[in-house]
Each structure stands twice: as C-alpha cells, then as structure tokens.
Amino acid sequence: MPRSSRRSRNPEVDFKGEKRSNATHASVTDPDARLYKKSPGTGAMLCFMGHALMENRHGLVVQGDLTRADGRAERRAALDMLHRHSPGSTRQLTLGADKGYDAAEFVADLRQACATPHAARKARHSAIDRRTTRHKGYALSQKHRKRIEEAFGWAKTVGGMSQTVNRGVERVRSRFILTLAAGNLARLPRLLAA
C-alpha cells in the first residue's frame, strides 16, 4: 500500500534535527505522562517520577509518592513526604540524598523543617556547607543513601513498575505505593531472621 494512502493514528511529521519536548510529543494513551531525561547522554522518555523516603537503619520505605516528571518534582516530593512522615516534629531528622537535591532553596526548606540535609555535594556551588559535612553522620548517610536504589530496582524488576499497565497519575501512584509496600513485606523475613 502506498505511504500516502495508509491511515495512521499520528500524522507524518519529520522531527529530524528538532528538539523533542512536551509540546511536540505527547502520549496518545496517557496524557499525564511527560517527556523526561534523567541524565545526559540518554534519550527522553514519556514517564512519571516515583519518589521514596527510606529509613536508613533497616532500608525500609516509609513514604512513597509518584508525580508528573519535571526538573523540580523530586525536591517538592521529598519535602511533602518529610512533612507527612513527621508532621510538626521538633526532633532533628537527617535526609540523605543525591546531588540533585543540593540546591540552596531545598537546603533552606529542609533546615526550616528541622531536618539536616545530608545530600551529596556538587563539585561547584554546593549549598551543603562544612557545618554539615564535618560530622561522621554525614559520611554514614552518604553510604546508606544508595540503598534506596534496591527498593527502586525491586519495584522495576519484580514489582513490574518498569512499564506499568495503568494509565493516569492517580492509578500509577496507587500501584507504585502498593509495590513499595510489597517490597517492604518481601524484605521482612530476612530482617526478622537477623
């Protein structure tokens, strides 16, 4: 069949040389999904962003959330989960995180919420200063913060979250939180045996 007479869902558009953005590419199955590129050198994908708050002692996830993908969603979700986890707390908490959380506004918001920011420092223009990094707890947080990747790895491989069948941010959020809870349950027998 000639190309011009073929019916398709999407019109023939030549995007060669153009930058992909949410204005040019939208999901036909899930309008809530957004293009997002996690790191340089990787392609942008239509996705959501999953967030988890973990306690360091046992590596269990205590809060989870899922949002639309954008550059500030991680920091907003971290503050929301921290406030939900310890509302009105006057107890000093620490929050270990990667370099994406080393932003002046986020660090100031954490300090206001009685939480010490144990985020990995950026090479230049870090908002994490010596008053935080001089303590041995900071080095311990940097070691333990990588354990959150185990929960995300389990959710993607065993929990089926690498490509969900659900559509819409609320349904995918529910599935994500349920998957994180199942991951905690899967870890409990090993923790209880120790």
DSSP letter string, 150-190: HHHHHHHHTS--SS-S--SHHHHHHHHHHHHHHHHHHHHHH
| Structural domain contains residue 188 | no
State how far the Cα of 62 lies from the Cα of 102, in Å rounded to an integer.
22
Domain count of the fold of the chain: 1
Q: Percentage of residues in the chain with pLDDT exceeding 90?
A: 13
Residues of the chain under the 50 pLDDT cut: 1
Residue with the two structure tokens 């311990």: 140
Q: Could you give the strand order of the β-sheet that contains 34-36, starting from the edge strand earlier in sequence?
A: 34-36, 45-54, 61-68
The verdict on residue 96 lying in a domain is yes
d(C-alpha 38, C-alpha 46), whole Å: 11
43 domain residue, yes or no: yes
Containing domain of residue 92, as a range?
A: 34-160+169-177
pLDDT at residue 25, rounded to an integer? 66
Model pTM score: 0.75
Residue 118, domain member (yes or no): yes
Question: 118, 132 in Cβ contact below 8 A?
Answer: yes
Assess if residue 120 is contained within a domain: yes
Rg (CA), the chain: 20
Look at residue 9 and give its three-state secondary structure: coil
Residue 156 lies in a domain: yes
Please indicate, yes or no, if residue 4 is contained in any of the structural domains. Answer: no
- The three-point CA angle 133-137-142 to 5° equals 75
> Which residues have C-beta within 8 Å of that of residue 19, sequence separation ≥ 6?
none
In a domain, 41, yes or no: yes
Cβ–Cβ < 8 Å for 156, 162: yes
Q: Quick one: pLDDT at residue 18?
A: 66
Helices (H), strands (E): how many in the chain? 6, 5
Q: Tell me what pLDDT residue 120 has.
A: 84
